[in-house]
Amino acid sequence: MLVKASMPESVWYMLLSALGFALMAACVKSAHGLGIPVLEIVAARAIVSVIISYADIRRKKLSPWGTNKPWLVARGAVGALALIMVYYAVTTLPLAVATILQYLHPVFTAILAFIFLKERIQYSTMICIFLSLVGLGFIIEPNFQHTGNLVYSWLSIGAAFLGALGSAIAYIIVKKLTRTEDSSVIIFYFPFVCIPISVFLLGHDFVMPSVTALGVLVLVGIFTQIGQVGLTKALNSADANKAMAYSYVQVIFSVVIGWAYFSEIPSITTMIGGLFIMIGALTNVLWKR
């Protein structure tokens, strides 16, 4: 008798998460194309997130303010600045390139954990760092060709780099906070701190969104929530390590969406570089298995 094999539930949740985040990035790019500034998109996402996060805290009957307020505020501030960088990269680079560069964050996380948490860098992480740097070299290599025109803006590449670094710093802070704070409180502080920062930096550049743009902004928040819920449920399962490997399907989703909706065709060097970065990241995730 043959038994039909099926994927664990956690894998389906991770695939849902990857699709949610890929669609979120596409909506960010679409909103910017409709004339909405990046900082306004960040603020809109934060407003949606803070409402949902606060409702979750009320459901758990927790105090939203936590105990380690300085580090909670720091996590929110770092997360806000990282999100601004990531969104800027998404709106100024091809969707696939911006997504691939975001997956450099395991490199920064490993280095920061070694410096601040005294965690030893595993052999798998060393391989990940090496392959990621090789991949990065392939992606930015066209910029060094003497054609007179840059393929990718160095400002956009730098923003993607800083976004990945900020994500890694936020992860280190979250790891420290999980010793004393409930996860819902940590999540709440991100949009709570992000709103005033993004509104302050936006200043007088606010643009009244059209009905279409407003709908896209709402979708940014909805797809973000789908991505976060899927990620949380996948990581809370017994098959979390296996599920994490499937998070990199987001790159494939981004390539397909970029090609179908934005007419973006990745170059050969981008595909080769992305392959190196993905292999490095998957090596880091799957090594122990």
pLDDT tens-digit readout, 158-180: 999 999 999 889 888 888 888 88
Q: What is the pTM of this model?
A: 0.86
What average pLDDT does the segment 70-86 reach? 94
H helix or E strand, kind and range, residue 103:
none
Q: How confident is the model at residue 86 (pLDDT cuts 50, 70, 90)?
A: very high
- Kindly report the backbone phi and psi dihedral angles of residue 94, in degrees, each rounded to the nearest multiple of 5, phi listed first: -55, 145
| Residue 2 pLDDT > 50 | no
pLDDT digits (tens, 9 = 90+) for 106-155: 788 888 888 887 778 788 888 888 888 898 888 888 777 655 566 788 89
Helix 69-92 × helix 154-177 angle, to 10°:
150
- pLDDT beyond 80 at 85: yes
Instruction: State the chain's mean pLDDT as an integer.
Output: 86
Residue 193 has pLDDT above 90, yes or no: yes
pLDDT exceeds cutoff 80 at 212: yes
Please list, in sequence order, all residues whose beta carbon lies within 8 angstroms of the beta carbon of residue 20, skipping any fewer than 6 positions away. Answer: 223, 224, 225, 226, 227, 228, 229, 230
Whether the Cβ atoms of residue 70 and residue 1 lie closer than 8 Å to each other: no
